[in-house]
Structure 1
Amino acid sequence: MEAITNLKGFLDEYGPSLAKRVNDELEVVHDPLRDEEKDMDEVMDRLNKQPFPVQREVIKGVIKAFKSGNKSVYITAEMGSGKTIMGIASALLLKNNPRVLIMCPPHLVRKWIREIKETTPTSKVFNLNGKQCLSMLEDLRNPKPSTRPEFYVIGRERAKTTFQWRPAVVHSKQGDCCPRCGGLLLDRDGTPIPLFERNNQGKYKKKYACENTIPKWVWDAERGTHRRIYRRCGEQLWQADREKKNYRKYMPALFIKNKLKNFFDLLIVDEIHQYKNLSGQGYAFGILSRVCKYTLGLTGTLMGGYALDLFYLIYRTHPGVMLSDGNLWGSPGQFMEKYGILERITTIPEEDGLSVKSKKRTIVKAKPGVSPLLMGKMLLANSVFLRLSDMSENLPEYEEEVIELQMDDQQGEAYHNFEEDMKAALKEALSLGDNSLLGAYLNALLSYPDRIDQGVTVCHPHTHELVAFGPPIQGDMPKERELSQIIDREISKGRKVMVYIQNSNTTDISPRLVKMIEDKGYRVKVLRAGDTEGRAEKIDKWTEKGLDVLICNPKLVETGLDLLSFPSIVFYQCGYSTYTLRQ
């Protein structure tokens, strides 16, 4: 028997037996070749926008998973595969006249509302993303029986917005005291806790709780009397700041939990992968997932290559699965050890030629990679997967091309000298245990060729001493000439062009590109951050006025926008996020 040295060889050898074992051990909820489900097809046939055949099978699988007892299901479908229409159709098939809450990025609120009205005009649609959100939710506390499907759309920022806070303590001559136990608020070293410390934006840095020990009387059944024990006070040392003009009394997600539990039949969470961490948005999503009867998550990139991407996400949708697998909420490291890849680097210093083990330091880093066990235990029974290739007969042709370019002599020499200076400075800093130049090294070397007309000056972030200088060079560069030729070629074919750049803020390169494109007689716009909810309408308005080229950072349009007016896309600069790149 020949040795197996790669994944392809392993799958070729054992793939059939693995597939047979999966079929034997897992219960198939929906088999498109076996289950026709004509009643579901009849409902989808009545929609104004009807799903494609492959989309219909995904929808049927979701509904049958819900009815088989699964409270939460993910639709993991590649970008452009129609997750919005699948979400709407799933809601309509779940029950007659459902009440559906949709949580999405703020710039997609209007798109969801428009898609719902176009797909099912008889349904009621409510926009909860405005300032009247709480008053509208208050009106739902005494609802009338629903006679038509009802869709409520809220942006993720609005769902988690709550009051601003400030520290809450009692001032005394001795110092700040706890409002509950009256003890002085000191850390373990006896130093006053920095309750009122602010960050660069003027906001309070951290919410504290009282760590003082206080007595408590408890009943001792064996002795037949009370006895005194000591426990941590735990009083929260903060309160709502009512002096703020934009003070909000209630987080909408928390209001739904406390006042409208089980009011919504289905929660649809668009771009669910964005709630994978400990954030206010993730907290709001976790609340809503618990109080709605069912949860449907939509995403094109369920994880970005690390097992940790799924820890909090699965915990919020399937806590029982996580607990039965022995994963505790506060122990993501244990989850990573089981399903991910961890790299441990131990450093043992030497003094006088001898190793000093007492001073050894171990650093643990997460590395890309996910165990196949995670797919089998956590995802297969809770997910429906769809690839664009599954819908190839319903889609136009698609091509990707990587263009490699060489710098010209002057640009290449300047870049090489700048790189050597940066490399020497970084090596010296790392030898002294200073990692602060790593970010500057990476960003400066990546951006210098694209903004070489401005030059680049790198200073040490702490000492502010000059580290390296990349001199400015004028003239058209090879990359700019290639972009110009691509735009000429595509527009001559009647194809509008989208150009993605990363340097769009403090090191903005768009003004130079705009001038170059306008000099050729084309109409060009740059999409900036801000007005998230009206972003799609702004792009549509520009397109109607004859826009030829749109320049933007890909993060501004990575989720949910239908950019069908721009069939040609140029990644003038590429970022690091696999989420953004795939979107």
Structure 2
Amino acid sequence: MNLRDFLEEYGAELMSLAVKRYRPMHIPWRETDAPERKHLRELKRHLKGKQQDAAIALARGFRSGRRGLILCGEMGTGKTIISLAVAHLIGARRTLVMCPPHLVRKWMREAEITLPRVKTVNINGPDLENLLALKCAPEPEIPEIYVLGRERAKLHYHTRTATARGLDDGTQMRPACPRCGLTFRNGLPRNERCPQCGEILRTPDLSRGPRRYAKAEFIKRYLRGVFDLFIADEVHELKGHHTAQGIAMGAIASACRHCLALTGTLMGGYASNLLAIFWRLFPEKMTGQGFSFHQPREFLNTYGTLERIIELDREGERRRVFRVFERPGVSPTILTDFLLDRTVFISLEDVTDALPPFTEEIRWVEMDPEMAAIYHDLKSALTRRVRKALDE
């Protein structure tokens, strides 16, 4: 019995068991008159099909105490309007959107034509003027949407090592802490702080430009709690564990009350694709499962596929030296352990009833005479070259 036949025969029982065990926050066919639907009718653009149910489920997820949620939907399912509807349902006064730079104005336009009363602010410029104003700004009278491109969010000023030079045992000059004079024999500590006095061992490098300040770092340091909702668009592009844009997402997420990640490709086939995203969206869930941020191998051993290559000596005895590679494959338990209670999936089939009619028709278009002549000359030349190569 294949998977399709199995689901057709036992799908109803499995769904009933899942409903009893996990207690869904929103059951669409039972809650056709959910109070959130009244609030959704306040929007300028009405959500269609299952878009309403997705927005209601996400809003209830945030109200239940979850800080990070994921909306995974195919292209064209309306992830943008759903996320804006979630901001409306939870009453977010200030929402921050981080998206690819070419989508900044699109997000602003979508917000203006969707939300009934809203102020949109483009903070994708090189200055920090709008963010500085938020440090002492009062509660806004109407909802505000701040849109930031991820490139501006991550770019920071250059730094250099901020150490003095000190004698180690009176014989050799080594880097030393500029405050307490502690010398470092084996290089600087990994956290670049003096273990004795806590002094930071890096400083801005004023000899190199440009002198910019990463907006993600500014939000993390000075605007903690200012934004009620952080929307991370195309989050699958922020999956890198140590990439600048991935770190920027984590910095902003840690400073906002709620975080909603949007993606159409949640899993790229490897468990490591989800590791950094999980840590940035719901770190409490990861620590609760016993994982450590600095030991990713534990997560990959549990949910991924690892290939171990062990080298043997001539007599067939095992040697200590071996290599480990990650291979495609994700354990299905990752769905129940992390995704089932924190992710809403939506496909085009869920919104097809609200889509306009579509028909596909093929029409032949003749080439322009000039283009046809060039095309035939190229075709003749390629044919001659191929025949000549085959004859040789």
TM-score (norm 2): 0.82
Alpha-carbon deviations, 1:309-350, whole Å to 9, x = none?
Answer: 111211111112111111111121111111111111212143
C-alpha separation in 2, matches of 1:300 and 1:396: 22
Give CA-to-partner distance per residue, 1:136-191, whole Å, 9 cap, x none. Answer: 1111122133221110001112122221112334357944422346566554xxxx
Greater length-normalized contact order (CA 8 Å, ≥ 6 residues apart): 2
The verdict on how the C-alpha distance between 1:307 and 1:245 changes in structure 2, with shifts beyond 3 A counting, is closer
How far off its partner does 1:211 sit? 11
1:273 aligns with 2:233: no
Tell me the CA shift for residue 82 of structure 1: 0.9
Pairing 1:379–2:231 present: no
Q: Residues of 2 paired with 1:289 and 1:209: CA distance? A: 27
Deviation of the 1:258 alpha carbon: 2.6
Q: Quote the Cα distance in structure 1 between the aligned partners of 2:258 and 2:222.
A: 18
Give the corresponding residue for 1:102. Answer: 97
Match in the other structure for 2:52:
56
Matched, 1:111 2:106: yes
Q: Which residue of 2 aligns with 1:66?
A: 62
SS in 1 for 2:15: helix
Residue 164 of structure 1 aligns with which residue? 158
Give the superposition deviation at 1:274: 2.0
Cα separation, partners in 2 of 1:241 and 1:144, compared to 1, 3 Å: same
Partner AA of 2:136 in structure 1: N
Judge which range, 378-387 or 314-323, deviates more.
314-323
CA 1:140–1:234 in 2, change beyond 3 Å: closer, same or farther?
Answer: closer
Residues 326/210 of structure 1: CA separation in 2 closer, same or farther (3 Å cut)? closer
- Partners of 1:155 and 1:392 in 2: CA distance: 31
Find 1:209's aligned residue among 186, 189, 192: 189
Q: How far is 1:380 from its partner?
A: 0.7
Q: CA deviation at 1:29?
A: 0.4
Q: 1:251 offset after TM fit, Å?
A: 2.7
2:32 to 32, 36, 39: 36
Q: Is the 8 A contact 2:165 2:176 kept in 1?
A: no
Instruction: Please give the alpha-carbon distance, in whole angstroms, between the structure 1 residues aligned to 2:344 and 2:61.
Output: 10
SS in 2 for 1:384: strand
Deviation at 1:209, TM superposition (A): 2.9
Distance (whole Å) between structure 2 residues aligned to residue 251 and residue 127 of structure 1: 16
In the aligned structure 1, how far is the partner of 2:205 from the partner of 2:370? Answer: 50
Alignment of 1:469-480 (within 5 A): none
Cα distance, 1:113 vs structure 2: 1.0
8 Å contact kept, 2:306–2:325: yes
The 3 A distance-change label for structure 1 pair 48 and 8 is: closer
Distance 1:385 1:518 in 2: 50
Q: 1:288 to 1:492 in 2, by over 3 A?
A: same
Match of 1:135 in 2: 129
Unpaired stretches in structure 1, ≥5 consecutive residues: 188-192, 194-207, 215-230, 401-488, 494-515, 522-583
Q: CA deviation at 1:295?
A: 1.2
Separation in 2 of the partners of 1:209 and 1:308?
27
Render the CA deviation track for 1:364-386: whole Å, top value 9, x for unaligned. Answer: 11121111211011011001110
Q: Distance in 2 between matches of 1:177 and 1:517?
A: 74
C-alpha change, 1:252 and 1:23, in structure 2 (3 Å) is same
Please list the CA deviations of residues 270-308 of structure 1 after superposition, one character each: whole Å capped at 9, or x if unmatched. Answer: 112222222222222112212211111111111111122
Q: Any idea what SS the aligned residue of 2:160 has? A: strand
CA contact (8 A) 1:51 1:86 kept: yes
Following superposition, the deviation at residue 260 of structure 1 comes to 1.9
Equivalent of 1:126, from 121, 133, 145? 121
Q: Distance in 2 between matches of 1:211 and 1:62?
A: 37
The 8 Å contact of residues 211 and 233 in structure 1, kept in 2 or not, is answered as no
Confirm or deny that 1:284 pairs with 2:248.
yes
**Superposition map of 1:498-537 within 5 A:** 519=371
- RMSD of aligned alpha carbons: 3.3
After superposition, the Cα gap between the structure-2 partners of 1:183 and 1:50, relative to the gap in structure 1 and judged at 3 Å, is same
**2:203 corresponds to:** 239
The 1:64/1:335 distance shift into structure 2, 3 A limit, reads same
The number of aligned residues is 366
Give CA-to-partner distance per residue, 1:109-135, whole Å, 9 cap, x none: 111111112223631000010012x22
2:330 match: 370
Taking the aligned partners of 1:334 and 1:41, their CA distance within structure 2 comes to 43
Partner Cα separation in structure 2 for residue 129 and residue 154 of structure 1: 5
Change (3 A) 1:34 1:305: same
- 1:548-576 Cα shifts (integer Å, max 9, x gaps): xxxxxxxxxxxxxxxxxxxxxxxxxxxxx
The structure 1 segments of at least 4 consecutive aligned residues displaced by more than 6 Å after TM superposition are: 231-235, 397-400
Residue in structure 2 matched with residue 77 of structure 1 by the alignment: 73
% identical aligned pairs? 35
Structure 2 CA distance for aligned equivalents of residues 147 and 236 of structure 1: 40
Q: Structure 1 residue aligned with 2:301, among 337, 340, 344?
A: 337
Counterpart among 172, 175, 178 of residue 177 in structure 1 = 175
Deviation at 1:15, TM superposition (A): 4.1
CA–CA distance in 1 between the matches of 2:103 and 2:37? 28
Q: Check the 8 A contact 1:47/1:119 in 2, yes or no.
A: yes
Deviation at 1:520? Answer: 5.3
Q: CA deviation at 1:361?
A: 3.3
Q: Secondary structure, in 3 states, of the residue corresponding to 2:50?
A: helix
Which has the higher mean CA deviation after the structures are superposed, 172-181 or 255-264? 172-181
Indicate how the Cα distance of structure 1 residues 185 and 142 shifts in structure 2: closer, same or farther if over 3 A, else same: closer
